């Protein structure tokens, strides 16, 4: 029998566990692809480290708080010992999520050190408010299950400060990360920027909605309702951190693969052009005593120019058929090249 049967808090904890397990299962292929992209098992990338921490600490958190919340026969002493563990795990998930937002923003800004330093400084109060309210909360036993409520007192003792600080940080990170992407989209510089912008705004909207609901419940004077959204918000934060990492990693890998294929195609076409060039025309003189007249030489030269033009048309047609490249080796679409041909012809 559940410790808190029929309560919204119990229902949302079950929902949180179900959501995490479902997302865990459907994202296993993305996890495998991320591991395969690592240069070495012993030297994983920063993105891979963040992914593992967000994924498995979030899983550990929901398993622990469910065990404590739905457990039976907890004593006040035992509850006081185990309740802070859940608070620490929740603080870990929040810190990892904030670090992922910093990493994403830093990467979008071209690894700008000022962005990194500024957001790292902002991370300090986020870290403080992520741990302090949970560590000084009051453990309580209800119907044999263990939970905790906020302690009355200063700012650090209230859990709502945790939600407010994280809400402000997410807003700051999303705004900074969107500025260069919006600029690139406006200038038409990169299709990937539009995808990353849409992903980032989508994650931001979900995070803001969850943080807002969590803040509303934590501001409630009814202690039984304060923790209603806390577990679900933490789990959604863990999932968003994982999705940000896999999305950015796969977009980057896709761009690198496209550039590699374009360079290979460019090299193959250049080699084919060199092989298909006609042999140089022999230099023949004409005039008195040579046996060759001026009209014969002009005919041979005209035939050579016709062969060159035919080869150019053949290579251009093959370029359009094979996917086409631009002058710098970057990928171009068939329609783009076609439009250029039309505009040039006009």
CA distance readout (Å), 295 to 77, 292, 301: 111, 9, 10
pLDDT for position 114: 92
Residues 6+ apart with CB under 8 A from 185: 193, 194, 197
CA–CA dist 188, 136 (Å, integer): 51
Burial class of residue 124, CB neighbours in 10 A (0-12, 13-18, 19+):
exposed
Which residues of the chain are modeled with pLDDT < 70?
1-6, 153-155, 157, 189-191, 224, 253-346
For 145, phi and psi rounded to 5 degrees? -95, 155
Residues 6+ apart with CB under 8 A from 250: 30, 33
pLDDT for position 331: 41
Q: DSSP of 269-338, one letter per residue?
A: HHHHHHHHSPPPPPP---STTTS--HHHHHHHHHHHHHHHHHHHHHHHHHHHHHT-B-TTS-B--HHHHH
CA atoms within 13 A on the CB side of 80: 4
For 140, phi and psi rounded to 5 degrees? -135, 150
Angle of helix 294-322 relative to helix 334-345, nearest 10 degrees, comes to 140
pLDDT for position 27: 94
CA distance readout (Å), 1 to 29, 74, 146, 219, 224: 36, 14, 14, 30, 19
| Per-domain boundaries in the chain | 8-259, 280-345
Residues 6+ apart with CB under 8 A from 86: 61, 64, 65, 68, 134, 148
pLDDT for position 336: 34
Pairing relationship of beta strands 145-149 and 138-142 according to DSSP bridges: antiparallel
User: Helix/strand/coil (H, E, C) string of 139-180?
Assistant: EEEECCEEEEECCCCCHHHCCHHHHHHHHHHHHHHHHHHHHH
CA–CA dist 80, 107 (Å, integer): 42
CA distance readout (Å), 227 to 108, 151, 319: 35, 13, 62
pTM above threshold 0.85:
no
Cβ-contact 278, 304 below 8 angstroms: yes
CA–CA dist 94, 161 (Å, integer): 13
Cβ-contact 247, 28 below 8 angstroms: no
CA–CA dist 14, 61 (Å, integer): 13
pLDDT for position 321: 42
pLDDT for position 269: 60
CATH 3.40.50.2000 fits 8-259, yes or no: no
């Amino acid at each position: 029998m559940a410790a808190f049967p029929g309560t919204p808090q119990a229902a949302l904890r079950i929902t949180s566990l179900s959501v995490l397990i479902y997302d865990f299962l459907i994202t296993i292929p993305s996890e495998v692809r991320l591991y395969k992209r690592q240069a070495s098992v012993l030297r994983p990338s920063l993105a891979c480290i963040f992914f593992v921490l967000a994924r498995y600490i979030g899983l550990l958190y929901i398993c622990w708080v469910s065990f404590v919340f739905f457990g039976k026969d907890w004593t006040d002493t035992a509850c006081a010992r185990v309740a802070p563990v859940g608070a620490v795990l929740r603080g870990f998930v929040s810190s990892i999520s904030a670090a992922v937002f910093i990493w994403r923003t830093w990467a979008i800004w071209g690894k700008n050190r000022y962005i990194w330093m500024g957001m790292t400084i902002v991370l300090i109060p986020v870290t403080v408010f992520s741990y302090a309210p949970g560590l000084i909360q009051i453990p309580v036993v209800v119907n044999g299950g263990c939970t905790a409520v906020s302690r009355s007192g200063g700012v650090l003792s209230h859990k709502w400060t945790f939600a407010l600080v994280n809400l402000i940080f997410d807003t700051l990170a999303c705004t900074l990360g969107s500025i260069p992407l919006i600029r690139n989209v406006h200038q038409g510089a990169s299709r990937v920027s539009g995808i990353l912008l849409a992903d980032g705004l989508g994650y931001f909207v979900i995070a803001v909605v969850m943080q807002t609901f969590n803040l509303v419940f934590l501001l409630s004077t009814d202690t039984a309702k304060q923790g209603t959204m806390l577990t679900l918000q933490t789990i959604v934060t863990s999932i968003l951190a994982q999705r940000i990492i896999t999305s950015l990693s796969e977009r980057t890998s896709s761009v690198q693969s496209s550039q590699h294929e374009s360079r290979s195609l460019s090299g193959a076409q250049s080699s084919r052009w060199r092989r298909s060039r006609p042999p140089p025309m022999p230099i023949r003189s004409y005039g008195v005593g040579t046996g060759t007249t001026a009209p014969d030489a002009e005919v041979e030269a005209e035939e050579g120019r016709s062969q060159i033009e035919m080869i150019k048309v053949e290579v251009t047609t093959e370029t359009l058929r094979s996917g086409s490249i631009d002058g710098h080796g970057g990928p171009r679409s068939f329609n783009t090249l076609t439009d250029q041909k039309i505009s040039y012809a006009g």
